Amino acid sequence: MHGQTNQGLLVSDDSTNGNGPFSRQAKTSLLRRLLRPSPKYSLLTLLFVGFVAGIIFWGGFNTGLEATNTEGFCISCHEMRDNVYAELKETIHYSNRTGVHAICSDCHVPRAWIPKMIRKIQASKEVWGKLTGSISTREKFEAKRLQLARNEWARMKANNSLECRNCHTQERMKPELQKERSAKMHAIGVKGNNTCIDCHKGISHHKPQGMTDEDES
């Protein structure tokens, strides 16, 4: 028994520190082969192939990323289609006299690359929510609606309602064409350094039940 144990240890030592496939020498040899210039292809050929492969990879990645921004993708699950999307269809952001139609990503996904990637990573938690059925029914959705809304309000507050400002700019508004109350409130908002979401909660979706005075402000 003692001899077998020692023999097993010797085999293990040889595989990690000697000549085994996972030994230090094997790893070093592999690294040298990867860094060594190719004997068959010129450096220019390798650079060209790498460049083309990079374009194909980037194109595929970006195409897949943009596919997740489409309205069809966003409402492919019934949690979105039967709840917030159904509410959006009742608003001016969906149908209006000029035919301008805002989709989910226009309001919920930043356009700049780094903020967009951060948002996509954050949104990956929704996959877990789908798997666990956290809002799989209308009752479950309503129970979580206020917290979900607060999360989005806080995000838009932090970025100064950037997604709203992609389409609506204070500088190009014409107060004289607005209703008197709207023009007055916009002027007050500018003086108070308010952001869009401070006053326009519920403009595209129903307001949650149980909102506090702080939520309304």
Distance CA 58, CA 84 (A): 32
Rg (the chain; Cα; Å): 28
Q: Are 205 and 87 in contact (CB under 8 A)?
A: yes
* Mean pLDDT of all residues in 180-207: 93
> Is residue 124 domain-resident?
yes
Distance CA 145, CA 22 (A): 52
> Is residue 13 domain-resident?
no
Q: State yes or no: pLDDT of 162 exceeds 90.
A: yes
Q: Is 23 exposed, middle or buried (0-12, 13-18, 19+ CB in 10 A)?
A: middle
Q: Are 103 and 70 in contact (CB under 8 A)?
A: yes
Residue 32 tokens read as: 């040298």
> Is residue 106 domain-resident?
yes
> Is residue 6 domain-resident?
no
Q: Could you give the number of structural domains in the chain? A: 1
Distance CA 9, CA 14 (A): 9
Render pLDDT for 7-46 as a digit per residue (tens, 0 to 9). Answer: 444 444 444 455 565 677 776 776 676 666 667 777 788 7
> Is residue 79 domain-resident?
yes
Q: State yes or no: pLDDT of 2 exceeds 60.
A: no
Q: Are 102 and 200 in contact (CB under 8 A)?
A: no
Render pLDDT for 44-95 as a digit per residue (tens, 0 to 9). Answer: 887 888 999 999 999 999 999 999 999 999 999 999 999 999 999 999 999 9
- CATH at residue 201: 1.10.3820
Residue 24 tokens read as: 């230090």
> Is residue 30 domain-resident?
no
Q: State yes or no: pLDDT of 137 exceeds 70.
A: yes
> Is residue 36 domain-resident?
no
For residue 148, the model assigns a pLDDT of 94
Chain mean pLDDT for the chain: 86
Residues spanned by the domain of 151 = 53-216
C-alpha dihedral, 82 to 84 to 167 to 169, nearest 10°: 160
> Is residue 175 domain-resident?
yes
Read off the pTM.
0.74
